[in-house]
Structure 1
Amino acid sequence: MDKCRASSRILIIGAGTSGIAAATRLLQNNFSNVQILEAENRIGGRINTISFGDNVIDVGAQWCHGQQGNKVYEMVKDLGILHLTGDYYSSMKMVRSNKEEVSQAVGCNLHDIAIRSMPSGPNPVVGSFGTHMVESYWRLIEKEMPEVERALAGEALDAFTKHESSIIGSDNLFEVSVREHIEYDECDGDKLQHWGTKGFQRFLRLLMKVSEDEPDDLGLLKGRVNLCKKVDKIELACPNKVFLRCEDGDYFEADHVICTVSLGVLQEQAEKLFVPPLPPAKVNAIRGLSLGTVNKLFMEFDQQPLPDNWVGFYCFWLQQDLKELRKSEYFWLEGITGCHKITCQPRLLLAWVGGPHGRHMETLSDEKVLEGLMWLFRKFLTFEVPTPKRFMRSKWYSNPNFRGSYSHRCLKADEKKTGPWDLETPVLGPDGHLGLLFAGEASSKNHFSTVHGAVEAGFREADRLIQHYSSCSSNP
């Protein structure tokens, strides 16, 4: 068994969470010939912790979502490196575009109704998330808050659905399958556990068993990660071989390949990337699932501009103001879901922008984005926010190695009768060889869009190969 595992050549495409999880699992189970090909000039994929402000920021994945059934939490829970956020964000202010601050009592009631309007339970099982939620929301408003101003209730609904879309990673809730919300397995416990001053890269170092004394080392993966190696051809060949070609002309030969590239890259390149073409069910899944765009805008100040009793604020747009905004160059600001302080970063503000507005934001210069943010602050706030001393943002959609942030299950997937299970299914070579395996968060049946889903998927495919060689006693 050990000899088979030791001699088997495994290539992993992508040094993100899923690829790193798969590689470390294999190496710890006597697979000694494991290499990773990574298109970027860094490891981590959609985990990207960088120095900024008073310590570090996570440009991508930021929180550990939940505890029970969360693979990431289970791996670090006894190390004392995760910090609970608790109800830190529950006191976010709700501000209308006429600078009126919604009372806490009214705002909390509207938010509670919005939460309870989200579909749950075995029914409904068809249709869009947005349709079910909007209908339920207005029924509850009529029943429980008949006295509330209808315009304000509508602004609250718009703000909440926009926020929920950013959590899901969708352009809007009407494209999201209601079955996603019901079938997604939300882990119980604090949904916004953070990494203090270490960032999510701390978890990657744990996976790779990197010593605290040598944080720049790759631990188990030392000498096994090939950066700036973008794969442009994957060929399943006989007998029992997989050939890979990189854009720089380098060729690699393997017995098995684990592909962990993002769904967005698969959607853009699958037709020309794989030889022979992928099976119809796999193509159906790639075309049916969706990868959304959610971006972050980080602003550093000499001192925190928000009042001490403000964690942040949500934007409630009056309809007339929204109409005017949509006709202006700042139309993309409609996609701002909120702006808030960051735990462990006292001088920073973080704004979120997603969907088509987030994609448009990526096309603008830093100066234009900052100009828009300063306009937004003046529009909503009664106090002055100075121009930040430093600014940076994510651009997940325009990066050709990602083409988006994280996946969700849309109505199109239901129509095509497909889902992560089809994305997960391995592809056999022409001789029946287990040649091509797929991992990544989008292939997780119940934890898609999360880091713990990516970890599970990486472990899943590593375990598939471990099981494949469980009864092998000679070289393959």
Structure 2
Amino acid sequence: GFEGLINSLMSELPPDIVTYNRPVRCVHWNNTKGGENPVMIECENKEIIAADHVIVTVSLGCLKKHHSTLFSPPLPSQKLLSISKLGFGTCDKIHVEFEFPWWDAECEIIYLLWEDEEKVSDEMKDISKHWIRKVSSFNVLKHSESGSHVLCGWISGYEAEYMETLPEEEIKRSITELIHTFTGDHTITPRRVECTQWFHDPWTLGSYSHPAIGCSLQDLKNLMEPLPKRGAQSQ
């Protein structure tokens, strides 16, 4: 993943300069109490960090849920409107491990195509029955040194959010039935499954932003605009 990139960037920083486990309660971005630092960071443990500038890179999901308490004074109405207009959703991965590969050696991706689309529409009312049909494909991951054979399934939307609430055994059972349906081979049994939990992760509350209906490029520019506005000293 991106771990190699992060490690490379971290290697250029002085040791012990990055602080972990310091959840931020509020960014006081227009400090009027005087002092040399115009920005004060209030942490959950009541620690106060003074700064000249702050770059906020939390997910759009966190901004949507916590903007009213995360910034003091509140963000300008233009930024708040853009936060509400931009779309943010969930796309999860389902890693499925097998003892032996049942796919062709040259296979890189497996797409799932349902013939009975009408049945899918009928089942839309009960997400507990149809969520597994939202698994659109499986990527074949490279064979690891440990000897495991892994497929990476993709699921998005409300079905992904629902999937995150299910126990691992239930997900494993549904994935097994899905594979049996498409292959006709009922001897295929996954060793285990492991799923991402982006929607229920309090630090992300989802995984992907997207241009929703009604938003524009200007909304992206509004989020990038520093505060205070141009012409004043940016923080």
Task: Say yes or no: does 1:353 pair with 2:155.
Answer: yes
User: What is the alpha-carbon distance in structure 1 between the residues aligned to residue 96 and residue 25 of structure 2?
Assistant: 37
- State the partner residue of 1:233: 26
| Structure 1 residues not aligned, in runs of 5+ | 1-198, 210-218, 436-476
- State the partner residue of 1:257: 54
The aligned amino acid for 1:433 is Q
Preserved CA contact (<8 Å) 1:342 1:350: yes
Query: 1:250: how far off?
Result: 1.6
> How big is each residue's C-alpha offset from its partner over 1:226-256, in whole Å with a ceiling of 9 and x where there is no partner?
2121111111203451111112222211111
* 1:2-401 matched pairs, under 5 angstroms: 199-209=1-11, 219-220=12-13, 222-235=15-28, 236-238=30-32, 239=34, 240-308=37-105, 310-317=107-114, 318-323=116-121, 325-326=123-124, 327=126, 329-345=128-144, 347-384=149-186, 386-401=188-203
C-alpha change, 1:323 and 1:259, in structure 2 (3 Å) is closer
Corresponding residue SS for 1:257: coil
User: What is the alpha-carbon distance in structure 2 between the residues aligned to residue 206 and residue 339 of structure 1?
Assistant: 30
User: What is the alpha-carbon distance in structure 1 between the residues aligned to residue 212 and residue 38 of structure 2?
Assistant: 35
- State the partner residue of 2:219: 419
Q: Normalising by structure 1, report the TM-score.
A: 0.44
The aligned amino acid for 2:130 is F
- State the partner residue of 2:208: 406
Query: 1:375: how far off?
Result: 1.5
C-alpha change, 1:355 and 1:305, in structure 2 (3 Å) is same
Q: 1 or 2, which has the higher helix percentage?
A: 1
Preserved CA contact (<8 Å) 2:143 2:149: no
Preserved CA contact (<8 Å) 1:305 1:385: no
Q: Normalising by structure 2, report the TM-score.
A: 0.86
C-alpha change, 1:256 and 1:312, in structure 2 (3 Å) is closer
CA RMSD of aligned residues (A): 2.3
C-alpha change, 1:385 and 1:222, in structure 2 (3 Å) is farther
User: What is the alpha-carbon distance in structure 1 between the residues aligned to residue 2 and residue 73 of structure 2?
Assistant: 37
C-alpha change, 1:208 and 1:385, in structure 2 (3 Å) is farther
C-alpha change, 1:348 and 1:378, in structure 2 (3 Å) is same
> How big is each residue's C-alpha offset from its partner over 1:53-95, in whole Å with a ceiling of 9 and x where there is no partner?
xxxxxxxxxxxxxxxxxxxxxxxxxxxxxxxxxxxxxxxxxxx
Preserved CA contact (<8 Å) 1:330 1:372: no
Preserved CA contact (<8 Å) 2:139 2:151: yes
Task: Say yes or no: does 1:434 pair with 2:234.
Answer: yes
Query: 1:396: how far off?
Result: 0.7
The aligned amino acid for 1:392 is E
Preserved CA contact (<8 Å) 2:127 2:159: no
The aligned amino acid for 1:347 is H
User: What is the alpha-carbon distance in structure 2 between the residues aligned to residue 374 and residue 330 of structure 1?
Assistant: 15
| Structure 2 residues not aligned, in runs of 5+ | none
